[in-house]
Amino acid sequence: MSEQTNGALCAVPGGRIRYEILNPGAPGTPVVTVHGGPGTPHDYLRPLADLLPGHPVVVYDQLGCGRSERPADPSLWRLDRFVGELGALLAELDLPRFHLLGHSFGTMIAAEYALRGGPHRPEWLVLVSPVLSVRKYEDDMRQLLFRLPPDTAQGLTDALRTGRYDTPEYVDAAMVFAERHMCRTEWPDTLLDATMDTAAAVRDTMWGRTEFQVTGNLRSYTCTDRLGGLSADTLILCGEHDFVPPRAGQAYARAIPGADTAVIAGASHMPHLESPELFAKELLARIDAGRK
C-alpha cells in the first residue's frame, strides 16, 4: 500500500475540503488529481498512488462529497466555483512544480483551470476520458445506445422518455452499459464505494440523474473553441471501449497545440483500474520524460 499523510483541510469558496498527499516522500514531481462525478468522491483514484510510486499523488474530495464539508446550498454547485476550489487547493499546497490529472467531469475543472492561467501552472495536463463538450458527449452516447442489444437500448430510451430511473428495466440496462463502457473488469471496492456515495444533490444540480442525458447546469458546457489556448504539455487518455470514445479524445487533441494521445487497449472509462500497467506505462512515458 502507498504511504500517505493524514488528511488535511483546506478553505475553499463555500466551505472546506479534505485532501491527502499519497507517497509523500517520493522524489518525483507531484501529481494533483481531480476526480469525476459530479458529486462522486475521489476514492476510485487512490490506486494511482500505487501506479506512480515515484511521485507524490494529491487526492481530494470536492466540496459537497466524500470527506469534505457538505453545505446545503445548491448555488455552490457551479463549475466556476469548482475551478476556484482547485485554485485554492493549489495555493495551499504551493508546489513549485506539479502535474495536473483530471478524470471525466474532473477534466472540465482541470482544463478550465489551465485555460484561465494563474500563479500555479502545471507542467503536464493529463485528461483521462475527457468531457470537454457536453453536446459531443451526448452525441457519442447516442451512438453507443444504437449498438447495444435491443432490450438494453429499449430500457435506457424508455427511461429517458419517461424520466423514470427506478424501473427494473432501466437498472438492468444501466448495469449492462456500465459493464461494457464504465469498467470492464470486476469493480474494486474503491469504485463501488465511491459510486454508492455519490452526492445526489451535486450530481442532479450539475449533471442530472442519468449518464445518458445532461439536464443540469452543465448541459451547454464546452471549451472546445478555447483549447488552442492551452500552454501546458497535454496528454489525453481514453479507454478503447470508453463511453468517451478515443475518436473524441483525438479530436480534442487536434485542437491543442502539441497534445499527445493514448488509447488503453481493452479498457473503458476507468483505464487506471482496468489496465493499470498499460495506463501507468503511457502516463510515466510522458511525465518522467520531461517536456516533449
Catalytic residue among 43, 140, 233, 242: 242
210 neighbors 160 (Cβ within 8 angstroms): yes
Secondary structure percentages of the chain, helix, strand, coil, to 5: 45, 15, 40
- Residue 155 vs residues 152, 177, 190, 211, 213: alpha-carbon distances, Å: 5, 11, 28, 14, 14
From CA 274, how far away is CA 253, in angstroms rounded? 23
Query: Residue 291 contacts by C-beta under 8 Å, 6 or more apart in sequence?
Result: 123, 233
Catalytic residue among 42, 61, 104, 275: 104
**Active-site residue flag, 99:** no
Size (the chain), residues:
292
**Active-site residue flag, 269:** yes
Residue 55 corresponds to which cell in the numbers above?
Answer: 511521485
- Supply φ then ψ for residue 233, to 5 degrees: -60, 135
**Active-site residue flag, 242:** yes
Residues annotated as catalytic (active site), given as ranges: 104, 242, 269
